[in-house]
Structure 1
Amino acid sequence: MRNISIQLDDNLFKQFSILCAELGAQKKTIILNFIKDFLEEKEDEQLSKLAEKRMKEFKKKKLKTISHKDAWK
């Protein structure tokens, strides 16, 4: 399990606190797990977009690997 830290502005934090108080501790955990899953999904999405971007850059530059034999020439 990973620890995830999020920043909420004061108004949103107050609303979240009120909601949690109304729903009780069990539902508070459900809400926090939902937020955690949502953030992890966004993080995965950003990483895959970054990987795609890097692959496109790689293809644009048409980089090629140098074989061991060619490196010594």
Structure 2
Amino acid sequence: MTYEEFREDVLNGIKTFQNDWREGQKVFNYIDSKYHVARKVQFDYGVDCFYRNDLIDKFIETAYKLL
């Protein structure tokens, strides 16, 4: 899977989540549930988009590198 395919999967996947969730929260939860690397990105790499939407791109990039 290329990075673009991964990113597209994440951005399409979050469309199924609740509308009252923040975008970063959706991205974090989607990657955590499907790829199981969100906690590693958060704790080992210090990138956490759950509360910070400005870190979404970096979070997706870091998750992809781990995979």
Whether these two folds match at TM > 0.5 is no
Give the greater-gyration-radius structure (CA).
1
Structure with bigger RCO (C-alpha 8 Å, 6+ apart): 2
